[in-house]
Amino acid sequence: DAKTTQPNSMESNEEEPVHLPCNHSTISGTDYIHWYRQLPSQGPEYVIHGLTSNVNNRMASLAIAEDRKSSTLILHRATLRDAAVYYCILRVYSGGGADGLTFGKGTHLIIQP
Amino acid sequence: EPEVTQTPSHQVTQMGQEVILRCVPISNHLYFYWYRQILGQKVEFLVSFYNNEISEKSEIFDDQFSVERPDGSNFTLKIRSTKLEDSAMYFCASSPYDRVGGNTIYFGEGSWLTVV
């Protein structure tokens, strides 16, 4: 998987929006942008993914730059439960899903009450 | 919501002993994975399994590791002769077959292995 760059940590206040950035300047045309998060003492959890267009789901929104060299995960209204490490991962579609995810250090999101 | 379940949640074993970690993937999923996370470090891919054989494995997954799907529901990771450095959280995961790209991987809560 191609490399991504994320800030080590970010802090936000409860009930405010959070924008988590990710740079992936070496992304190729077939790389999907995935976001996972890991709450304390739990396994990673899927958040959202996209290829070219912006994506929304019940958990978050994903804004993808036009050149695809960066993306932003948006939590519209952060709660204390959103405090976690957020991972931005590029994934090549290799047919079926055999390839594993390559996790970086991610961004440690701290939510203040 | 369907989930990946793992047992045991925590196991303590003596160095050199064999350990089997068990997982029940989501029932209609076809790809199964094991990952590990040493305390304070990144989540690392170990192996993927499809159609009753290993699809991909990382450098970590050496001869002391093996995986098996002994029946239609369980997926196991065996560590033959544990070392101190095998102490970690082991995550099982599963995903459906991805015909389009970008499939979602669902992780279990993990099995914490402590080798003493």
What pLDDT, in 10s, does the model give residues B29-51? 989 999 999 999 999 999 999 88
What is the nearest CA distance from A17 to chain B, expressed in angstroms? 25
Option in A46, A87, A104 nearest B104 (CB):
A46
Q: Does B58 touch chain A (CB under 8 A)?
A: yes
Q: How far is the C-alpha of A106 from the C-alpha of B111, rounded, in Å?
A: 22
Q: What is the pLDDT of residues A45-96, one digit of tens each?
A: 999 999 999 999 999 999 999 999 999 999 999 999 999 999 999 987 666 5
The pLDDT score that the predictor gives to residue B97 is 73
Option in B45, B102, B103 nearest A100 (CB):
B45
The pLDDT score that the predictor gives to residue B85 is 97
- Taking contacts as CB-CB distances below 8 angstroms, the residues of chain A near B55 are 96, 98
| Token couple for A96 | 């079926």
Distances (CA, A) of B20 to A73, B66, B74, B91, B111: 37, 9, 12, 13, 10
The pLDDT score that the predictor gives to residue A56 is 95
Q: What is the pLDDT of residues B71-107, one digit of tens each?
A: 878 999 999 999 999 999 999 999 987 655 567 899 9
User: Nearest chain A Cα to B55, which residue?
Assistant: A98
Within 58-87 of A, beta carbons closer than 8 Å to B belong to 87
